[in-house]
Amino acid sequence: MISRIKGTQDVLNLTVFNNVIGQIKNHLALYSFIEIQTPLIESLDLFQRSLGQDTDVVSKEMFVIESRQQNDSSERICLRPEMTASMVRAFNENGIQQVPWKVFSYGPCFRYERPQKGRYRQFNQISMEIIGASSIGYDAQFITMLDRFFNHMLQEIDYTLEINFLGCSDDRIVFTDALRIFLNNSSGICSQCQERKERNIMRIFDCKNSVCKDMYLNAPIITDYLCDCCGGDWHQLQEYLKALSVNYIHRPTLVRGLDYYNKTVFEFASNSLGAQNAFCGGGRYNNLAKELGAKEDQPSIGAAIGVERFLLLLEACKNESDASLPASLFSLVMPMTIAQHTQALLIADMVRADGLQSEVLLEGSIKSMFRKADKLGATYVLIIGETEQQNKIVKIKNMKSGHEQEVPYDQIIHYLKQ
Ligand code: AMP
């Protein structure tokens, strides 16, 4: 038997997934985001230039597609590992003039990671971006927008919002110098951190080694190294969030894995998820448009929700039915014998034509049909036996109250809609 590729999933019922997508679409419409779509395949160069060569995603996790032309390295193609870079590319390439450009997209992303609960090689993101927005007020509004959504959807689940402020590139130079001095004076950091110190020093904060983690509690903190402008923005962002009653924790070691971030970074996480606890992450990326070839910088902010992890959370809070998930079956038509099958099909057809959900049971004994009605969660059962057929009526049973009523064919819709 041929199996699916490691780290991928067969989703055998998309109802909950589609529901989450529907809910976020409604929410984003309140903030006037529009939906766009970019390709699943992009040039490898796009991610090398945006996420950074030394990030885990680019150096270890890309799915690169072999070129049909041997030795043709001019167009190396890959499956997208995330969507922000694609959306900025689309902004540049399509010459979008109207800013802020508030857009979102959702769909599969691919990373060659070691699969575990909440971590897959193919997973879905909902990516939301505001391109061309410099005021720090946008950051506050964007984070609030996400927090309101999670609050509404995850009522019983504890989650935290962690924020950090990475400053501008000048701040980063001053800070990384201080960090390097700190590391040079500390002994016992792991070999991976030694390597990170040389290649991508901020990533030391992602180390899972407990010795390193303890040591970094005393490391310099980036928010102590901000220039006046960034310091002002950091202060203002916190003021806005307080005014909007958004609870957050400042985590000075939150750096996020991708190189394009500056200033604001944030992550929503929940302990209910286990090791892979972040279900949404994002931040500001003011220089990305230019790094991808635009003439000017476009100050921007964005985030991605990991859909699979969000679904795990919904499952954990048993909120699936409130998230109005698979509506239980509205009506079920039960012909007693084969002689009533045509009539049953006609009645179900009539009910659906009026926008009401209906199913027909064409097999099984009466007892098994009722068992099935219970399983399907039918609200109404429409029974047609020989007598009902002759009298042009159906017997409608309300499965919740147990009440039964004989209803003429031409009044079925009226009765069900009452
Ligand atoms: P990132 O693009 O790395 O900022 O990730 C944004 C969100 O996507 C994370 O917070 C996760 O919820 C989700 N995510 C990232 N990688 C994976 C993966 N391999 N499997 C499932 N979800 C993922």
pLDDT at 325: 45
CA distance 30 to 377: 33
Name the token pair of 267: 């992550």
**End-to-end CA separation in angstroms for the chain:** 51
- How far CA 219 is from CA of 174, 177, 215, in Å, comes to 14, 12, 7
Pairing assessment for the beta strands 380-384 and 393-398 based on DSSP bridges: antiparallel
Which helix (H) or strand (E) segment holds residue 381: the answer is: strand 380-384
Query: Hey, which of 276, 277, 301, 311 would you mutate to test ligand 1's pocket, going by the most ligand atoms within 8 Å of its Cβ?
Result: 276
Distance, CA of 261 to CA of 164 (rounded, Å): 11
In a 10 Å sphere around its CB, with 0-12 CB exposed, 13-18 middle and 19+ buried, how is residue 224 labelled?
Answer: exposed
- Give me the tens of pLDDT residue by residue for the chain, a chain 418 residues long: 999 999 999 999 999 999 999 999 999 999 999 999 999 999 999 999 999 888 889 989 999 998 777 666 667 899 999 999 999 999 999 999 999 999 999 999 999 999 999 999 999 999 999 999 999 999 999 999 999 999 999 988 999 999 999 999 999 999 999 999 999 998 888 998 998 898 889 989 988 899 999 999 999 999 999 999 999 999 999 999 999 999 999 999 999 877 789 999 999 999 999 888 999 999 999 999 999 999 999 999 999 999 999 999 998 876 544 444 445 789 999 999 999 999 999 999 999 999 999 999 999 999 999 999 999 999 999 999 999 999 999 999 999 999 999 999 999 999 999 8
Check residue 67 and give its pLDDT. Answer: 73
- Look at the pTM and tell me if it is higher than 0.85: yes
Pairing status of strand 41-43 against strand 64-65: unpaired
Predicted pLDDT at 70: 63
Q: What is the pLDDT of residue 323?
A: 47
Largest CA distance in the chain: 94
CA–CA distance, 174 with 204 (Å, rounded to integer): 17
305: tokens are 């929700």
For the Cβ of 309 lying below 6 angstroms from any atom of ligand 1, the answer is: yes
Q: Residue 281: CB within 6 Å of ligand 1?
A: yes
Going by CA atoms, what residue is nearest to atom 7 of ligand 1? 306
Ligand 1 atom having least distance to the Cα of 282: 4
d(CA 307, ligand 1 centre) in Å: 9
Protein residue with its CA nearest to atom 21 in ligand 1: 119
Please indicate whether residue 82, judged by its CB atom, sits closer than 6 Å to ligand 1. yes
123 lines ligand 1 (CB under 6 A): yes
Ligand 1 within 6 A of CB of 308: yes
Residue 191, both tokens: 């070999």
Given this model, what pLDDT does residue 394 score?
97
